[in-house]
């Protein structure tokens, strides 16, 4: 195989494709020239290698060249670094320095680009930024502390008759099933507000420690409200029973919202869309819990409400901060039936990313991906 056989004339930057007529590379050393008064000699100080520049003479052509031209312009003007598939140099992570577009009436149906790329490199010096994951965990801890204090002030079985205790026992038993906890661990604490509060919080935290950041897992706390049917408030004992059951519901759901937010903060999402869906789920839970009322229609405790508000702000900031660095989900339709391995190489210049394509699209036969059918893929930032 000769060098001509290894070279193609097609390149790609981000998702925009183009043809390459020629290319060049600039380089050298960064030299600081020191000149001294009254002397003819100089000292040339070597300050390291000059960053390589990749100069590409590219063009788009064809009946739809206007769309291809605009796609390339959009890719070149998009902020941040991007992936360049260079026909001579392979796959590079670069930033755009400058580009120049040329179109003529003599060569209709084509647009010529002179593009200068620089290596993206890595930031060499530390920057100060808040750890948004830690901020979510701190806010979640504050929420749990607030709801525990509120529960201990609201919940009381002093003077409660046997039927009321039995009703609370039934609610705790049903809730223990949802929490996958031993019902005896909760029922044994039924007359101690402090012990019951700690037991409920520990059970909810334990459940979420094994959960995922999927939308269904994050929303599960909202389902627990169905375990607490309305109670007719026709006697003082009935009102106290209703307050007790309301307190149990609130501590479970509020702790679920806090633990779900922590689970989200601990999760590395594969794409911006999946991070956004999880964020929407947990903020829906927080908003719903904030609107809880007691049996007499009074809103949730002010301290708990504001701690939940702080948690919501922290989790939104965390997902937005980390989500900016994630790829977007895009649609790609292969022209013909081909292996997922080849699609991964074509899209990313990296055949090892075949697994994501197969999993994301539930492909039964990765070696034969049908052409003409859209696939969900990741669009690299």
**In the prediction, which pLDDT does 3 show?**
43
87-101, 282-296, 358-372: least confidently modelled range: 358-372
Mean pLDDT value across the chain: 87
Give mean pLDDT, residues 261-280: 88
16 DSSP β-pair partners: 13
Long-range contacts of 99-106 (CB under 8 A, 24+ apart): 101/69, 101/73
**In the prediction, which pLDDT does 6 show?**
46
CA dist 318 to 136, 141, 270, 325, 326, Å?
7, 16, 15, 12, 13
Q: How far apart are CA 338 and CA 367, in angstroms?
A: 7
Nearest to 221 by CA among 140, 275, 162, 154: 140
For 44-98, what is each residue's pLDDT tens digit?
888 988 888 999 999 998 888 899 999 999 999 999 899 999 888 888 999 999 9
86-90, 207-211, 373-377: least confidently modelled range: 373-377
**In the prediction, which pLDDT does 340 show?**
82
Taking a C-beta distance cutoff of 8 angstroms, is the pair 369, 334 a contact?
A: yes
Residue 305 binned pLDDT confidence (cut-offs 50, 70, 90): very high
Sign of CA dihedral 152, 158, 164, 166: positive
Is the predicted pLDDT of residue 353 greater than 90, yes or no? Answer: no
Say which DSSP state 317 is in: H
Is the predicted pLDDT of residue 325 greater than 60, yes or no? Answer: yes
Q: At what angle do helices 193-209 and 132-154 cross, to 10 degrees?
A: 150
For 227-245, what is each residue's pLDDT tens digit?
888 888 889 999 999 999 9
Strands 82-86 and 29-35: unpaired
Nearest to 119 by CA among 56, 51, 48: 51
Q: How far apart are CA 267 and CA 265, in angstroms?
A: 6
Is the predicted pLDDT of residue 8 greater than 60, yes or no? Answer: no
For 9-50, what is each residue's pLDDT tens digit?
889 999 899 999 899 999 999 888 888 888 888 888 889 888
Task: Write b or e for each residue in 289-310: b if 16 or more Cβ atoms lie within 10 A of its Cβ, otherwise e.
Answer: bbebebbeeeebbeebbebbeb
Q: How far apart are CA 48 and CA 32, in angstroms?
A: 10
For 131-170, what is each residue's pLDDT tens digit?
899 999 999 999 999 999 999 999 999 999 999 999 999 9
**In the prediction, which pLDDT does 126 show?**
64
Taking a C-beta distance cutoff of 8 angstroms, is the pair 84, 11 a contact?
A: yes
Supply 161's token pair: 């008759």
CA dist 87 to 3, 8, 19, 248, 334, Å?
12, 5, 9, 64, 21
**Torsion angles phi and psi, residue 51, rounded to 5:** -60, 135
Say which DSSP state 293 is in: B
Q: How far apart are CA 244 and CA 258, in angstroms?
A: 21
Taking a C-beta distance cutoff of 8 angstroms, is the pair 296, 253 a contact?
A: no
67-81, 200-214, 272-286, 362-376: least confidently modelled range: 362-376
**In the prediction, which pLDDT does 183 show?**
67
CA dist 74 to 77, 348, 366, 377, Å?
5, 19, 32, 20
231 DSSP β-pair partners: none
* Alpha-helix runs per DSSP H in the chain: 3-6, 65-77, 132-154, 162-179, 183-187, 193-209, 215-223, 236-265, 272-290, 302-323, 340-348, 354-361
**Helix, strand or coil for residue 150?**
helix
Is the predicted pLDDT of residue 4 greater than 60, yes or no? Answer: no
Number of H helices, E strands in the chain: 12, 10
30-39, 180-189, 311-320: least confidently modelled range: 180-189
Which class for 272: exposed (0-12), middle (13-18), buried (19 or more C-beta within 10 A)?
A: buried
């Amino acid at each position: 195989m000769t060098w001509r056989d290894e070279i193609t004339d097609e390149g790609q930057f981000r998702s925009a494709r183009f043809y390459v007529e020629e290319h060049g590379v600039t380089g050298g050393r960064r030299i600081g020239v020191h000149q001294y008064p009254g002397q003819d000699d100089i000292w040339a100080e070597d300050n390291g290698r000059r960053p390589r520049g990749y100069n590409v003479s590219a063009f788009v052509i064809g009946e739809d060249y206007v769309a291809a031209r605009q796609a390339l312009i959009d890719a070149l003007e998009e902020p941040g670094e991007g992936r360049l598939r260079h026909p001579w140099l392979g796959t590079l992570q670069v930033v755009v320095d400058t580009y120049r577009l040329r179109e003529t009436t003599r060569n209709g149906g084509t647009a010529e680009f002179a593009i200068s790329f620089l290596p993206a490199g890595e930031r060499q010096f530390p920057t100060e930024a808040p750890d948004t994951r830690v901020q979510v965990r701190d806010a979640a801890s504050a929420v749990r502390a607030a709801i525990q204090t509120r529960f201990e002030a609201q919940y009381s079985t002093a003077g409660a008759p046997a039927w009321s205790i039995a009703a609370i026992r039934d609610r705790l038993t049903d809730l223990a099933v949802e929490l996958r906890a031993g019902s005896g661990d909760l029922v044994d604490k039924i007359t101690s507000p402090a012990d019951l509060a700690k037991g409920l919080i520990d059970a909810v935290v334990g459940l979420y420690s094994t959960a995922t950041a999927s939308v269904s897992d994050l929303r599960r706390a909202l389902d627990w409200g169905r375990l607490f049917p309305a109670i007719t408030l026709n006697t003082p004992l009935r009102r106290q029973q209703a307050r007790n059951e309301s307190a149990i519901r609130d501590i479970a759901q509020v702790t679920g919202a806090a633990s779900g937010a922590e689970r989200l903060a601990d999760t590395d999402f594969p794409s911006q869309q999946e991070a956004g869906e999880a964020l929407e789920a947990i903020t829906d839970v927080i908003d719903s819990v904030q609107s809880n009322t007691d049996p007499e229609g009074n809103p949730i405790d002010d301290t708990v409400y504001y701690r939940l508000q702080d948690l919501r702000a922290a989790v939104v900031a965390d997902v937005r901060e980390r989500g900016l660095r994630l790829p977007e989900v895009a649609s790609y339709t292969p022209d013909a039936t081909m292996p997922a391995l080849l699609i991964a190489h074509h899209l990313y210049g990296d055949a090892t990313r075949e697994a994501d394509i197969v999993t994301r699209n539930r492909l039964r036969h990765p070696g034969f991906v049908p052409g003409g059918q859209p696939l969900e893929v990741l669009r690299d930032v």
